[in-house]
Structure 1
Amino acid sequence: MRITPARAARGVAIAGAVIGYPVAAHYSTTVPAAPAALGVAVSLLPSLLILVALAWRSPRRGAALLVCGAVAALLWGFWGALERNFNWVYFLQHAGTNVMLALAFGATLARGRKALCTHFAEAVHGGALTPEVLRYTRQVTAAWTLFFVALSVVSSVLFFFFSIEAWSVFANFLTLPLVLLMFAAEYGVRVLKLPKVERHGILDGILAFWKTPPGTSPR
């Protein structure tokens, strides 16, 4: 794959965000002299980006973007309160995101529903899956559910019973490596359990699923 200037710039920007965001978050959380406005801005940024991305992808984009504008106005109105309590914003974002991910994965394990990782696998492979793969993708969905539950529990315990510095180290510097470790562990298990199946990472499935137009299924 040829590396174009645009691709290189995008890679640098992503690397900068991956490194810069946790550093800024840790600094604003643990350094008393850090500007409160920085803490609010950094703590809200991921949630706002996700909200805008979902709104942009929504079939009712105009209405969804109006909701984004209303949310922005509401946040501006409560900016002072947010500055005084932005550590709670960080915590609710971190623990809340993991709880929502656990619910998103876990809800699809209900009887009669298709597991979320099964959707990802179908999006990549473009069709029906073998019973062996269906069983495995359901097990992987359960594993990710438990993983996100564990992250939210640890985050809550550290935030309420330990120092803010300890919580910040876990939330800002350990969460992403743990997620990457989970990806690596899942891939290793998949190689052992499904050696004859074409190998795609779960990220490939997520990207393929994300690119599938709303209300349609992969071919």
Structure 2
Amino acid sequence: MTLIVVALALLILVPMLPALARGSVAAWLAVPPLAACLWWLSRSTHATLPLYIAPVLVPGFMAGVFGSTLLAGQSPLIEQIVRLMDPVEPEPDVLIYARKLTLAWTLFFIALSATNLVLALLAEPDGLLLAGGITPPFTVPQEWWSLFANLIGYLLVAAFFLIEYAYRSHRFPRQPYRNMLDFFVRVLAIMPRLVSNVAAPRR
């Protein structure tokens, strides 16, 4: 259980690091309740709790990564990818689209995380509320949570990406990559610089 709690703590804190480094009051105020929740989890003997929490934190982590780059003084994540992938100065329409797409991914991951949380809270017989001794107003079969967390959520991510890729290719036909495979290869190539840009606090 201790290793699981440490892994969950990293999933929570890593996307918060830029905000913490900037001295964000909201980020620092969030630390004590998060620490309390992790402490409670470490003391819990409910074996299925980590199974419920991970599907909430992973998309929450992604929402934090995308969303943190939309804050004042930051460059939207998709814009950073565009600039790193293509040395040519992007057109204004591309930059506007990049910001909107970064926001769209942020909202999408928030919705995914929230859906996993609601299903985890309401699942029966071993949901979070029932495990805590609280009877929810209604319940859903635990299989619903499992199906969404372990399959449907991933299919939605893939569908979101494929639909957006097709739309982007139609709207902006001039791209620095030849096809989807070339796109992924180029993203992997710029990943070290991208991670460095996202992690570095802006002054």
Q: Mark yes or no: TM-score above 0.5.
A: yes
Shift of 1:116: 0.7
Shift of 1:127: 5.3
Which residue is equivalent to 1:115?
76
Which 5+ residue runs of structure 1 have no aligned equivalent? 1-39, 55-79
TM-aligned CA distance change 1:204 to 1:127, over 3 Å: farther
Paired with 1:149 and 1:163, the residues of 2 have a C-alpha distance of 23
- Aligned CA RMSD, in angstroms, stands at 3.4
Q: Do structure 1's residue 103 and structure 2's residue 64 form an aligned pair?
A: yes
Paired with 2:109 and 2:195, the residues of 1 have a C-alpha distance of 25
Q: Secondary structure of the residue that 2:69 maps to in structure 1?
A: helix
Shift of 1:206: 4.2
Paired with 1:125 and 1:109, the residues of 2 have a C-alpha distance of 21
Amino acid at match of 1:123: L
Amino acid at match of 1:211: P
Count residues in correspondence: 149
Check conservation: 1:123, 1:205, Cα contact below 8 A.
no
TM-score if structure 2 supplies the norm length?
Answer: 0.60
Amino acid at match of 1:101: M
Paired with 2:193 and 2:61, the residues of 1 have a C-alpha distance of 22
Alignment of 1:139-154 (within 5 A): 139-154=100-115
Q: Which has the higher helix share?
A: 1
Runs of 4+ aligned structure 1 residues displaced above 4 Å come to 199-206, 213-217
Q: Do structure 1's residue 171 and structure 2's residue 149 form an aligned pair?
A: yes
TM-score if structure 1 supplies the norm length?
Answer: 0.56
What per-residue deviation string (whole Å, max 9, x for no partner) do you get for residues 53-75 of structure 1?
A: x9xxxxxxxxxxxxxxxxxxxxx
Amino acid at match of 1:87: T
Paired with 1:127 and 1:193, the residues of 2 have a C-alpha distance of 18
Q: Percent sequence identity over matched residues?
A: 28
Which 5+ residue runs of structure 2 have no aligned equivalent? 15-41, 123-139, 199-203
